[in-house]
Amino acid sequence: MEKKDKRLEKLNINYSEYTTRLSKKFKNRIPYKPSDKFRLLSFIPGTIIEIMVKEGDRVRKGDEVLVLEAMKMKNRIKSPLNGRVKQVDIKTNEVVPKGKLLIEFKPE
């Protein structure tokens, strides 16, 4: 009779199932969450230099909404969609960490 290793677990990748040992780091990872296209988050820590929109403004996909300075570079952040600005969660000269909510949009 074959003895089964209880440490082996099943892992599904792209609809293929594998039996393997999973590390503690893998088991404790934060699960993937798809991004919300209505929430603009900072992709890098930096300082807000300029905000070009205010709550209630209508924006088109590609319109510049703010300038984020990071690593001595001024990044012009553009609207990811057509809609209205629901909430501006930042102020000029504010230092923001990676992942902070900058602007929230609502569809139109």
Q: Domains in the chain, start-ordered, CATH in brackets? A: 39-107 (2.40.50.100)
Distance CA 67, CA 77 (A): 6
Exposure letters 50-79 (e unless 16+ CB within 10 A, then b): ebebeeeeebeeeeebbbbeeeeeebebeb
Dihedrals phi, psi of 74, to nearest 5 degrees: -95, 115
Is the full-model pTM beyond 0.75? no
pLDDT, one tens digit per residue, over 19-34 is 999 888 988 988 877 7
Task: Report the candidate in 99, 105, 104 with the shortest Cα–Cα distance to residue 30.
Answer: 99
Q: How confident is the model at residue 1 (pLDDT cuts 50, 70, 90)?
A: low
